[in-house]
Structure 1
Amino acid sequence: MSLDTSTTGDSGPAKTLDATPARALGEFIRAHRERLSPQEVGLPPGPRRRTPGLRREEVAQLCGVSPTWYTWIEQGRPVSASADALARIAVALRLSRAERAYLFELAAQRDPAEPDTASAADAPATLLQTVGLIDAPAYVLDRQWTALAWNAQAADLFTGWLDGDHDRNLLRFTFTEPLGRELIVDWETRARRLAAEFRADSIRHLNDAPTRALIDSLIAASDEFGRYWGSQDVFEREGGRREFHHPRHGRIAYDQITFKPAHREDLKLVVLVRL
């Protein structure tokens, strides 16, 4: 049974529960165009307007794109919208950080203004400090899943990774370090899922040099990673039970939960609660 209550033509946005991504993108852009006045973007008010906000031709002028192309975008037609063109639309419509992120998600594009790398130098200091306040194993990962910060409980749990002088990348620890295989219960299942979760998590920056170098090095160093990566499996990163064969504490189990900080979704705060 259809729940479509849209009107035909271009008199207003369609009100549907099954709008296509292109239509949803068009409706979002149109709504924000109608909220802006000419004065807000430095244009003369001109004669009396029959519709609210800016005209499509004015936004197209501000963006440096053709009025026809911009109209088609708003109408939800399946036309190509480059990341650069979307960035110009975001600036012209004066979108907030959250609105701009939503625009790029709707268009399934990566924002060119998104930072290419994340490191301890540019990670929020409060996030890194928070790790030390948590009374459970906790650590922060960057977009290549390299640990930027961790607490004493995490160092005690993850022997061979977060203790001593080791490579801090979670994937390298899991796939190339013998201690990783010994520590993680049901290593094959967890490792396969880890590769699939990283594929899903890294899709927006899969061709960035640091991510590409990491994947290439893992394929060269680990037959299992190469096989799991080649399977094209994709899973969302999820929490749940994690079990370890610890060299000092024996078999221990935790419930893992992952948080993404506001404005820095390329970082992750991971906490393990003892069961």
Structure 2
Amino acid sequence: MQTDEQRKLLGAFVRTRRESMTPEGHDRRRRRTPGLRREELAARAAIGTTWVSWIEQGRNVRPSAETLARLADGLSLSTAERDYLFSLAGRHDPADPFAGAGQAAPAAIAALVGQMSWPCYALDPGWSVCAANPAARRLFVGLFESDPVPNLLRYVFMHPAARQLLPDWAERAGRLLAEFRRDYSHGLADPRVRAVVERLQAQSRDFRESWDAQTVLAREGGSRSFRHPDDGPLHFTQHTLADVERGDFRVVFLEPEKPA
């Protein structure tokens, strides 16, 4: 539910951004007011002038997500500014790869994940979690509560719980992204996969710096340690499988390590 304060902030933001934009044409030097007129912004955004007026006035109206997306495009907002606009409006950005539904897990993957007793999950091409068993949901604290579409990259780089859960966070985060980059080369035709990278580059400096390092690694198994808030230190051997029908999906399971 959008509050009065959110509507006022949204209106002030849209008005300020509109007034900061340079008008087109030869009459811009003769203007008495700065920036674009409301009707000019409405034309750029392909929405009604009334919508622009009501939003700027902070009226109790609920423009659709599609209307807000066109308004954001008309204002040439950055990723951070779009996030701010949609947050104030209480809507999900259609361009946000984390806001919509991810790809459903293939039937064979969903069946395998469901039968595992060890922590097990599956990743779609954008590394959103498309299937997970109860053990994985318990292990990855906060992952399944924070986002409508849990994404492993977003969780590791942006969720505070991930830094507490992974005692070697910097090394694990860097490796995770290097492994994703290898898969990314096969997913360039998928606009959602590209959008995941673009959104995280805008939201996380750690992600941006790791991405710019251009490190590429194969997804390999090995020892993985966790510092669980309820279960204490946990140690696993990680295994990764690729689906034979859909090579861009991954199944990851964690085999508990036996005490030495």
TM-score (norm 1): 0.54
1:152-202 CA deviation, whole Å, 9 max, x = no partner?
100110111135765410000000111111111210001111111111111
Q: Distance in 1 between matches of 2:175 and 2:229?
A: 24
Q: Which has the higher contact order (CA 8 A, sep 6+)?
A: 2
Q: Which has the higher helix share?
A: 2
Pick the aligned partner of 2:132 from 131, 150, 157: 150
Q: Distance in 2 between matches of 1:247 and 1:167?
A: 23
Question: How many percent of aligned residue pairs carry the same amino acid?
Answer: 40
User: Does residue 231 of the first structure (1) align with residue 231 of the second (2)?
Assistant: no
CA, structure 1 residues 165+198, in 2 after alignment: closer, same or farther (shift >3 Å)? closer
Q: Secondary structure at the match of 2:143?
A: coil
Question: 1:119 matched to which residue of 2?
Answer: 103
Unaligned residue ranges in structure 2 (runs of 5+): 1-100
Residues 237, 256 of structure 2: 8 Å contact kept: yes
User: Does residue 128 of the first structure (1) align with residue 110 of the second (2)?
Assistant: yes
Q: Secondary structure at the match of 1:204?
A: coil
Question: 2:225 matched to which residue of 1?
Answer: 243
**1:126 Cα deviation from its structure 2 partner:** 2.9
User: Does residue 211 of the first structure (1) align with residue 193 of the second (2)?
Assistant: yes
**1:208 Cα deviation from its structure 2 partner:** 2.7
**1:243 Cα deviation from its structure 2 partner:** 0.6
Q: Secondary structure at the match of 1:145?
A: coil
TM-score (norm 2): 0.57
Residues 145, 171 of structure 1: 8 Å contact kept: yes
Which amino acid letter does the alignment assign opposite residue 155 of structure 1?
R
- For the pair shown, the structure with the greater C-alpha radius of gyration is 1
Q: Distance in 2 between matches of 1:180 and 1:195?
A: 14
User: Does residue 260 of the first structure (1) align with residue 257 of the second (2)?
Assistant: no
Pick the aligned partner of 1:170 from 152, 156, 160: 152
Give every structure 1 segment of 4 or more consecutive aligned residues whose post-TM-superposition deviation is greater than 3 Å: 162-167
Q: Distance in 2 between matches of 1:179 and 1:118?
A: 22
RMSD: 1.8
Question: 2:167 matched to which residue of 1?
Answer: 185
CA, structure 1 residues 166+253, in 2 after alignment: closer, same or farther (shift >3 Å)? farther
